């Protein structure tokens, strides 16, 4: 429920920013150096994994996630972007005969395109999409993927991501942002749809710099 509220709030803010940042009213930081091309950023937020069996072992499908990105403006407003973030969770699972202490380590590498015009004053927005590569490592004597429960267990998954967000530019070099990312990826031949996907929903806030 908390994540759904966050999604609705961000969607509302994003829709408002689309109206507020129309081309007719757009203002830019012109002059010294022109339009910045390189943007580097870091973020922290909450990730909710879609995989339904996750909650049976780790108790909650949501947790903290941190990451970063680098984007490069090819031609206004098209940017190539690479994103990286991690999601770690610890939990315990009890059976009739034993209790297992487990650690989940998940890493995302996303690469794709972002529709964004850097160098705007005040509020602006972005939309992006691309491929998502996910690496998962389970530590402990139990695995949610392996029917034989052999561990440690590593899995790789491939899929896609979509993201959208809002920015506030303080000056040409620094802005803050809030972003919602949706990712979907399946492992071991399973589909990447809700319930069997190791992707999920990521709401984050962060800071970005544009050195040149």
User: How many domains is the chain built from?
Assistant: 1
pTM for the predicted model, two decimal places: 0.83
Structure confidence by residue, pLDDT tens digits, 65-80: 999 999 999 998 999 9
Residue of 107, 132, 134, 114 lying closest to 177 (CA atoms)? 114
Range of the domain at 149: 2-209
- For residue 181, what is the domain's CATH number? 2.40.160.20
φ, ψ dihedrals at 18, nearest 5°: -60, -40
The encoded tokens of residue 76 equal 């206004």
Structure confidence by residue, pLDDT tens digits, 115-163: 998 878 889 999 999 999 999 998 887 888 775 666 557 888 999 999 9
Calculate the alpha carbon distances from 195 to 40, 176, 186 in Å.
Answer: 33, 33, 10
């Amino acid at each position: 429920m908390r994540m759904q509220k966050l999604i609705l709030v961000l969607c509302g803010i994003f829709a408002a920013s689309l109206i507020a940042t129309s081309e007719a009213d757009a203002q830019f930081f012109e002059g010294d150096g022109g339009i910045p091309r390189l943007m580097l950023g870091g973020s922290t937020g909450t990730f909710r994994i879609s995989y339904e069996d996750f909650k049976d072992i780790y108790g909650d499908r949501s947790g903290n996630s941190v990451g970063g990105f680098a984007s490069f403006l090819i031609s206004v407003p098209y940017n190539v972007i690479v994103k990286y973030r991690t999601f770690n969770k610890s939990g315990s699972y009890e059976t009739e005969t034993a209790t297992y202490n487990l650690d989940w380590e998940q890493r995302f590498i996303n690469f794709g395109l972002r529709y964004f015009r850097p160098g705007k004053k005040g509020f602006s927005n972005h939309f992006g999409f691309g491929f998502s590569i996910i690496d998962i490592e389970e530590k402990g004597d139990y695995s949610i993927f392996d029917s034989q429960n052999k561990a440690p267990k590593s899995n790789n998954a491939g899929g896609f991501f979509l993201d959208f967000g809002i920015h506030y530019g303080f000056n040409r070099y620094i802005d803050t942002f809030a972003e919602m990312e949706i990712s979907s990826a399946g492992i071991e031949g399973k589909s990447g749809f809700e319930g069997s996907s190791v992707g999920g929903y990521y709401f984050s806030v962060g800071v970005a710099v544009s050195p040149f």
